[in-house]
Amino acid sequence: MTFEEYQKLTQKTALYPNKGHNFVYPTLGLSGESGEVAEKVKKIFRDNNGIVDEKIKITIQKELGDVLWYVAQIATEFDLSLDRIANENIKKLSSRKQRSMLHGDGDNR
């Protein structure tokens, strides 16, 4: 499945107020789901001595799926293509790597 296909399919399950004109709702959802990923990772150390087993991987996979869903909704709200976002991101990072600029901070490296 391509990102474009995924993005279109997510629209079938996107039920929130003023869908199509509400970038705030999915942005807040992304924040919450990202926090859930962080919580699951934290608990690997608290409850499982830092060991990642298959059950944990499945749990993280589900949470990352939720993160991806919200990213797709934000992109859709801004009329952006996930395929293009992914491609442009790889181009940016490849350029930084070629120029030895992966380290440091700032958007315009």
**10-21 confidence digits (pLDDT tens):** 999 999 999 999
Q: Which residues contact 24 (CB under 8 A, 6 or more apart)?
A: none
**How many other CB atoms sit within 10 Å of the CB of residue 19?**
14
Rounded to two decimals, the pTM is 0.90
The domain 3-83 is placed in CATH, from the list 1.10.3470, 2.40.128, 1.10.10, 1.10.287, at 1.10.287
**46-95 confidence digits (pLDDT tens):** 999 999 999 999 999 999 999 999 999 999 999 999 999 999 999 999 98
Dist CA 57 CA 64 (whole Å): 10
Residue among 43, 106, 31, 38 at smallest CA distance from 74: 31
Exposure on the CB side of residue 92, measured as CA atoms within 13 A: 10
